[in-house]
Amino acid sequence: MSSLANVRPVMFAAALLAANAVPAIAAGAHKPFGYGTPATAEQIKGWDIDARGEDGKGLPPGKGDVNHGAEVFADQCAVCHGTFGEGEGRYPKLAGGNGTLTADRPEPTVGSYWPFAPTLWDYINRAMPFTSPRTLSADDVYALTAYVLNLNNIVPADFVADKDSLPKVKMPNHDSFSWQDPRPDTAMKPCMTKCVDPSTLKIVSTAEGQSLTPRTTGPLDDMQPK
């Protein structure tokens, strides 16, 4: 499925179909095209920022502990996420929510929802702080990861996060995920006549009268005078 050897027959079939009408460049006569520049090992090292969630592959050298993470968090993260990860305003709550996933209003957080600990390192490293991503050292990202895991009581206060310890952290909700799409999970029949008794139909919910809809004519709501 995945090897180049298996890709080629498709390309050749397309080339044969098109052979009468299409110049050689589209028929694959010049492969490889040779465009671009080979990426050097040094260049790849600079770009290759990801760490895999399941096994932590790609986590760099370095380490950080919970106490240092608390300092970095207070300085860089608390303004949006709250001092203890409770979330300010509509910014994401990072801690708590355990046991809420079947509740009427679930609270998915790192502790209650995330399946893999290295994903937390990867996400902080690639996307945080929100207004200045990619400005934290690897050690600081490890420290923040340790702090957020500790906020969720997943690791003890003396936990040190590094490339060996993070993949070993068992996330509480890890086993709740399935990674195979079970859809289609509905099997409606295309009934055409007398599908329901119209006299039984009633409105169970309406958007009428709710004041949740922004205006849909004229300027944006955001552009209105405060």
Please report, as residue ranges, which positions from 165 to 194 form the binding site for other proteins (by CB under 8 A).
173, 176-194
* 42 binds other proteins, rule: CB under 8 A: no
User: Least Å distance between CB 160 and other proteins?
Assistant: 23
Per CB under 8 A, the list member of 16, 19, 54, 75 interacting with other proteins is 54
**Contact criterion met (CB below 8 Å) for 69 and 143:** yes
Half-sphere exposure of 219 (CA within 13 A, CB side): 5
Which secondary structure element, helix H or strand E, spans residue 161, and what is its range? strand 160-162
Per CB under 8 A, the list member of 43, 83, 137, 153 interacting with other proteins is 43
Cα 20 versus chain centre, distance? 46
Per CB under 8 A, the list member of 53, 96, 145, 166 interacting with other proteins is 53
In the bound state with other proteins, the residue whose beta carbon lies nearer, of 49 and 157, is 49
Half-sphere exposure of 101 (CA within 13 A, CB side): 13
Distance CA 165, CA 200 (A): 59
Half-sphere exposure of 224 (CA within 13 A, CB side): 8
Distance CA 118, CA 51 (A): 7
For residue 162, the cross-strand partners are 63
User: Least Å distance between CB 62 and other proteins?
Assistant: 19
In the bound state with other proteins, the residue whose beta carbon lies nearer, of 61 and 209, is 209
* 31 binds other proteins, rule: CB under 8 A: yes
Site for other proteins in 101-140 (CB under 8 A): 101-102, 106, 108, 110, 113-116, 119-120, 122-123, 126-127, 130, 133-134
User: Least Å distance between CB 135 and other proteins?
Assistant: 11
DSSP 3-state of 65: strand
User: Least Å distance between CB 142 and other proteins?
Assistant: 17
**Contact criterion met (CB below 8 Å) for 136 and 128:** yes
* 47 binds other proteins, rule: CB under 8 A: yes
In the bound state with other proteins, the residue whose beta carbon lies nearer, of 46 and 156, is 46
Site string for other proteins, 57-96 (x = CB under 8 A): -----------------------x--------xxx-----
Residue 199 region, left (φ>0) first, then alpha (ψ -120 to 50), else beta? alpha
In the bound state with other proteins, the residue whose beta carbon lies nearer, of 31 and 137, is 31
